Structure 1
Amino acid sequence: MQTNQTQQIQVTVDRSLVAETNAIFEQLGLSQSAAITLFLKKVAATGRMPFDVALTERQKATLNLQAAIAQANRPVNDLETPAGYQRWEEDVHDDY
């Protein structure tokens, strides 16, 4: 006879998200534990997330803005000397 061993997991989740999803689970007749188990079984069966995981357009825009700010804060190379000009010419990240 095979015994089904279980393991308890603990996650930290925003309280409002827990309340919102528990209300949905209740309407579906599921406990929080059953819903999480369903999710894990789907991942195990398919070998992937059961939904697309991607950045939103706003998240992508935020990352692009952060990269632009970081680029703008970089020190300007000294282009008045031959050595400074050479460093600028060889730096593929300088686009000014």
Structure 2
Amino acid sequence: MSTKRPHESATKSQKIQVTVDRSLADKTEAIFSQLGLSPSTAITMFLKQVAVTGSIPFNVTLTERQKAALNLQAALKQADRPINDLSTPEGYRRWEADENDDY
């Protein structure tokens, strides 16, 4: 005899809440509607592809602008470091030992 109630499914569901920009939600809901999908179904399709492939089902890369911004941030951090005084033996030794010092 089964103890499962008629309305219970074989697998349990988990609710996932995501907060996105309203404009993005409106644009994507319109597209999903044209495709005959709900946002929930589209997200479930995405998650199933991740589970099947073990990866995100599209390329995730930085744009050239984002890469340039990261490089600029790194350069600014580098510029904020104290400058070694190469006129003293101790300053020269510090500079020589620092693998990140390229000046």
Could you tell me which amino acid in structure 2 is paired with residue 54 of structure 1?
A: T
Structure 1 equivalent of residue 68 of structure 2:
61
Structure with more of its chain in helix, by fraction: 1
CA offsets, 1:34-87, max 9 Å, x none? 000111111111111110111111111110111111111211012221111110
Instruction: State the shift of 1:11 in Å.
Output: 1.2
**In angstroms, what is the RMSD of aligned CA positions?**
1.4
Partner of 2:93: 86
**Structural mapping, 1:23-38, within 5 Å:** 23-38=30-45
The answer as to 2:10 corresponding to 1:3 is yes
Match of residue 22 from structure 1: 29
Structure 1 runs of 4+ aligned residues shifted over 6 Å read none
In our comparison, the structure showing a higher alpha carbon Rg is 2
